[in-house]
C-alpha cells in the first residue's frame, strides 16, 4: 500500500505545473510530540488551491529548501519565486526572513487566523492568572470550566455557555476586560480602508496597554512590531490562509491513519490528496 501511494505521489509531482503560482501560504504542523515540526507551503490562488511542498523542520533552511525545488529549472527574472505576488504566513521569524529574501516581488501578509490565535492565547493566559488569584485570595471559584466560554466566538456558544458568560460579565475580573477587548478587536477586520483600519488598530493598542493586563500588553507589543505586515492584509483584499487550516487538518488526519510508519514520510505522502486527477495504475505495477 505504501508503494502504491508513493507511486501516485511521484507521478503527480512529475506532471504538475508550477508556472502560474501567484499566491502562497506558509505554515507548519507538529509531526510528533515535542518540538518536531514540518513546514508546509500551499498555493492559494482563486482557481487553484493545493499543497505544493512539505519540508522537515520549521527553520530557514526548511523553507529555503522548498524554494530551491520550486525554482528548479528557472533562472533570473523567470524564477517562479519572483512571480509570486502574495505570501500569507504567521509571525515565525525564520519564515519572514526567507520570504523577504526570496519572494522579493511579493507582499507578505500576516494571516488573520494566526493573529486571532495569539489574541485568544492572551485571553486564556489572563484567565489562568485570574483563577490563581481567586484561589490565593480564598474567593469563589467563578471561573471553573470557563475556558472555552472566553475562547469561542459568541455565536458558537451553547445556551448554557451563553448564560454562564452573561453571569461572568458582571464580575470585575481582568479576563472579562481581556475578553471584551478581544471581541472589540474583531472590528479591525471589517474595515475596507488601510488608513482607517490603522487608526482603529493604534487606538485599540493604546487601550490594551492601559489595561495593565500583561498578556494583552505582550500581544500589543507583537502587533506593533509587525504592524506593516499586518496592514498588508487590507492591501491584499483580505487574503488569508483559511484554506491552509483545512488542508492542515487533512495532513494531520493522513499522518494519524499512517500510524506505524515514519511520521515525516507519512506526511509527505499526504500530497496525493491535492494532486488532482491521477492515471490508472499499469498492470505491470504490483502494489500489494
Cβ distance 113 to 241 under 8 Å? yes
* DSSP states of 85-137: -EEEE-S-HHHHHHHHHH-TTSEEEE-HHHHHHHHHHHHHHHHHHHHHHHHHT
Q: Are residues 202 and 63 both part of a single domain?
A: no
| 220-226, long-range: CB < 8 A, 24+ apart | 222/91, 222/118, 223/115, 226/91, 226/110
Q: Give me the tens of pLDDT residue by residue for the chain, a chain 288 residues long.
A: 667 777 777 777 776 788 889 999 998 888 777 778 889 999 988 888 888 998 999 999 999 999 999 999 888 889 999 999 999 998 999 999 999 999 999 999 988 888 999 999 999 999 999 999 999 999 999 999 899 999 999 999 999 999 999 999 999 999 999 999 999 999 999 998 889 999 999 999 999 999 999 999 999 999 999 999 999 888 876 666 666 666 666 666 666 665 555 555 555 555 544 444 444 444 443 333
The string of pLDDT tens digits covering residues 12-31 is 777 678 888 999 999 888 87
Please indicate, yes or no, if residue 61 is contained in any of the structural domains.
yes
Question: What span, in angstroms and rounded, lies between the C-alpha atoms of 48 and 66?
Answer: 19
The string of pLDDT tens digits covering residues 213-270 is 999 999 999 999 999 999 988 887 666 666 666 666 666 666 666 555 555 555 555 5
The pTM of the full predicted model, rounded to 2 decimals, is 0.78
Q: Are residues 132 and 217 both part of a single domain?
A: yes
Please indicate, yes or no, if residue 233 is contained in any of the structural domains.
no
Determine the Cα angle at 111 with ends 188 and 196, to 5°: 25
Q: Are residues 203 and 121 both part of a single domain?
A: yes
Residue 224 is part of which domain span? 113-228
Query: Structural domain tally of the chain?
Result: 2
Amino acid at each position: 500500500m505504501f508503494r502504491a501511494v508513493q507511486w501516485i505521489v511521484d507521478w503527480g509531482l512529475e506532471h504538475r505545473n508550477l508556472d502560474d503560482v501567484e499566491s502562497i501560504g506558509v505554515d507548519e504542523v507538529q509531526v510528533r510530540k515535542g518540538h518536531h515540526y514540518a513546514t508546509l507551503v500551499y498555493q492559494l490562488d482563486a482557481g487553484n488551491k493545493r499543497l505544493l511542498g512539505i519540508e522537515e523542520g520549521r527553520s530557514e533552511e526548511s523553507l529555503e529548501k522548498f524554494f530551491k525545488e520550486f525554482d528548479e529549472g528557472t533562472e533570473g527574472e523567470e524564477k517562479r519565486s519572483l512571480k509570486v505576488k502574495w505570501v500569507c504566513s504567521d509571525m515565525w521569524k525564520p519564515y519572514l526572513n526567507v520570504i523577504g529574501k526570496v519572494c522579493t516581488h511579493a507582499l507578505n501578509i500576516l494571516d488573520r487566523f494566526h493573529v486571532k490565535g495569539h489574541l485568544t492565547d492572551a485571553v486564556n493566559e489572563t484567565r489562568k492568572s485570574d483563577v490563581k488569584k481567586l484561589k490565593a485570595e480564598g474567593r469563589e471559584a467563578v471561573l471553573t470550566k470557563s475556558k472555552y466560554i472566553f475562547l469561542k466566538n459568541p455565536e458558537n456558544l451553547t445556551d448554557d455557555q451563553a448564560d454562564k458568560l452573561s453571569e461572568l460579565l458582571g464580575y470585575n475580573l481582568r479576563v472579562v476586560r481581556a475578553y471584551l477587548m478581544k471581541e472589540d478587536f474583531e472590528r479591525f477586520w471589517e474595515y475596507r480602508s488601510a488608513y482607517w483600519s490603522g487608526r482603529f488598530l493604534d487606538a485599540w493598542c493604546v487601550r490594551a496597554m492601559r489595561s495593565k493586563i500583561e498578556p494583552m500588553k505582550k500581544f500589543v507589543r507583537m502587533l506593533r512590531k509587525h504592524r506593516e505586515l499586518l496592514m498588508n492584509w487590507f492591501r491584499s483584499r483580505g487574503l488569508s490562509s483559511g484554506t491552509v487550516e483545512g488542508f492542515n487538518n487533512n495532513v494531520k488526519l493522513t499522518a494519524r491513519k499512517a500510524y506505524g510508519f515514519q511520521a515525516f514520510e507519512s506526511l509527505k505522502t499526504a500530497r496525493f490528496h491535492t494532486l488532482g486527477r491521477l492515471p490508472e495504475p499499469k498492470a505491470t505495477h504490483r502494489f500489494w
